[in-house]
Chains A and B, each alone.
Chain A
Amino acid sequence: MTAEEAAGDKAERSAGPAENVIPIGTRGRPGRGTNNARPSSSARMLAPGARKPAPADADDAEAADVLTGPGSKAERPPVHTEPHGPHGGIPAGDWLAAVVNGAREIFGDQWEQRLAELLAFARRRITGDYTVDDFGFDAEVTERFLLAALRPIKDKWFRVEVRGAENIPTDGGALVVSNHSGTIPVDGLMTLASIHDTTGRFLRPLGADLVFKLPVVSELARRSGATLACNEDAERMLRGGELVGVWPEGFKGIGKPYSERYKLQRFGRGGFVSAAIRTGVPIIPTSVVGAEEIYPLVGNVPALARLMGVPYIPITPLFPLLGPLGLVPLPSKWIIEFGEPIRTDDYDEAAADDPMLVFNLTDQVRETIQQKLYTLLIDRGPVFSA
Chain B
Amino acid sequence: MGRVVLVTGAAGDLGRRFARRLAEHPDIDRVIGVDVTPPRLGTGGMQFVRADIRNPVIAKVIVREHVDTVVHTAVAAVAPGRNRPGQMKELNVIGTMQLLAACQQAPELQRLVVRSSTAVYGASNRNPSMFTEEMTAKRLPSHGFPKDVAEVESYVRGFARRRPDVHVTTLRMANMMGPLIDSTLTNYFKLPVIPTVLGFDPRMQFVHEHDAHGALERATLADVPGTFNIAGDGVLMLSQAVRRLGKPTAPMPAVALGALGSAFRQARVAGLYSEQVPLLTFGRGVDTTQMRQVLGYEPVYTTAQAFAEFAAAQRSGPFAADRVRAVESALLEAFGGRGGRVPAVTGGEG
Give the B-binding residues of A (Cβ under 8 A).
91-93, 95-97, 99-100, 103, 112, 115-116, 119-120, 122-123, 125-136, 138, 209-210, 212-219, 222-223, 227-228, 230, 232-233, 236
- Provide the residues of chain A in CB contact with B262, threshold 8 Å: none
A-B pairs, top 6 by smallest CB distance, nearest first, are A215-B199, A128-B243, A212-B125, A216-B199, A232-B128, A95-B348
Partner of A95, one of B282, B304, B347: B347
- Provide the residues of chain A in CB contact with B348, threshold 8 Å: 92, 95-96, 99
Residues in B300-319 with C-beta less than 8 Å from chain A? 304, 319
- Provide the residues of chain A in CB contact with B130, threshold 8 Å: 134, 232-233, 236
Partner of B239, one of A116, A128, A209: A128
Q: How far is the CB of B22 from chain A (nearest CB, A)?
A: 32
Interface of B is mostly: loop
Q: A93-B343, A100-B342, A126-B324 are in contact. Are A222 and B203 (CB under 8 A)?
A: yes
B143, CB-defined interface residue at 8 Å: no
B346, CB-defined interface residue at 8 Å: yes
- Complex CA gap A126/B234 in Å reads 20
Closest residue of chain B to A211 (Cβ to Cβ) is: B125
- Provide the residues of chain A in CB contact with B325, threshold 8 Å: 123, 127
- Provide the residues of chain A in CB contact with B283, threshold 8 Å: 136
Closest residue of chain A to B337 (Cβ to Cβ) is: A112
Q: A93-B343, A95-B347 are in contact. Are A129 and B199 (CB under 8 A)?
A: no
User: What is the size category of the interface that chain B forms with chain A?
Assistant: 35 or more
Closest residue of chain B to A130 (Cβ to Cβ) is: B240
Query: Contact at B243–A126, with CB atoms within 8 Å?
Result: yes
B57, CB-defined interface residue at 8 Å: no
Closest residue of chain A to B344 (Cβ to Cβ) is: A93
- Provide the residues of chain B in CB contact with A95, threshold 8 Å: 347-348
Closest residue of chain B to A127 (Cβ to Cβ) is: B321
Residues in B119-138 with C-beta less than 8 Å from chain A? 125-130, 132, 135
B1, CB-defined interface residue at 8 Å: no
Q: A126-B319, A223-B201 are in contact. Are A228 and B129 (CB under 8 A)?
A: yes
Query: Contact at A233–B129, with CB atoms within 8 Å?
Result: yes
Query: Contact at B242–A134, with CB atoms within 8 Å?
Result: no
Interface of A is mostly: helix
Query: Contact at B125–A209, with CB atoms within 8 Å?
Result: yes
Query: Contact at A219–B346, with CB atoms within 8 Å?
Result: no
Query: Contact at A228–B319, with CB atoms within 8 Å?
Result: no
- Provide the residues of chain B in CB contact with A132, threshold 8 Å: 203, 235-237, 240
Q: How far is the CB of B138 from chain A (nearest CB, A)?
A: 9
Query: Contact at A128–B242, with CB atoms within 8 Å?
Result: yes
Which one of A91, A103, A126 has the highest number of Cβ atoms from chain B below 10 Å of its Cβ? A126
- Provide the residues of chain A in CB contact with B236, threshold 8 Å: 128, 132
- Provide the residues of chain B in CB contact with A217, threshold 8 Å: 199
Q: How far is the CB of A372 from chain B (nearest CB, A)?
A: 31
Closest residue of chain A to B340 (Cβ to Cβ) is: A112
Instruction: Say which one of B6-14, B37-45, B263-271, B327-335 lies at the interface with A.
Output: B327-335
Query: Contact at B335–A100, with CB atoms within 8 Å?
Result: yes
Closest residue of chain A to B336 (Cβ to Cβ) is: A100
Partner of A97, one of B200, B246, B320, B342: B342
A-B contact pairs, 8 of them (CB 8 A): A103-B335, A112-B335, A123-B328, A213-B125, A219-B200, A228-B125, A230-B126, A233-B128
List 10 additional contacts besides A128-B244, A212-B126; criterion CB under 8 Å.
A93-B345, A127-B324, A134-B234, A134-B235, A135-B203, A212-B125, A227-B128, A228-B129, A230-B128, A236-B129
Which one of B287, B346, B348 has the highest number of Cβ atoms from chain A below 10 Å of its Cβ? B348
Q: How far is the CB of B204 from chain A (nearest CB, A)?
A: 10
Partner of B126, one of A123, A125, A228: A228
Closest residue of chain A to B205 (Cβ to Cβ) is: A134
Closest residue of chain A to B233 (Cβ to Cβ) is: A134
Q: A92-B344, A120-B328, A130-B240 are in contact. Are A219 and B199 (CB under 8 A)?
A: yes
B193, CB-defined interface residue at 8 Å: no
Query: Contact at A136–B200, with CB atoms within 8 Å?
Result: no
Partner of B324, one of A123, A216, A228: A123
B241, CB-defined interface residue at 8 Å: yes
Q: How far is the CB of A218 from chain B (nearest CB, A)?
A: 6
Query: Contact at B200–A215, with CB atoms within 8 Å?
Result: yes
- Provide the residues of chain B in CB contact with A120, threshold 8 Å: 328
Query: Contact at B129–A134, with CB atoms within 8 Å?
Result: yes
Q: A93-B344, A126-B243 are in contact. Are A212 and B282 (CB under 8 A)?
A: yes
B141, CB-defined interface residue at 8 Å: no
- Provide the residues of chain B in CB contact with A92, threshold 8 Å: 344-348
- Provide the residues of chain B in CB contact with A103, threshold 8 Å: 335
Closest residue of chain B to A97 (Cβ to Cβ) is: B342
- Complex CA gap A210/B241 in Å reads 26
Query: Contact at A99–B128, with CB atoms within 8 Å?
Result: no
- Provide the residues of chain B in CB contact with A133, threshold 8 Å: 235
- Complex CA gap A35/B46 in Å reads 112
Query: Contact at B343–A136, with CB atoms within 8 Å?
Result: no
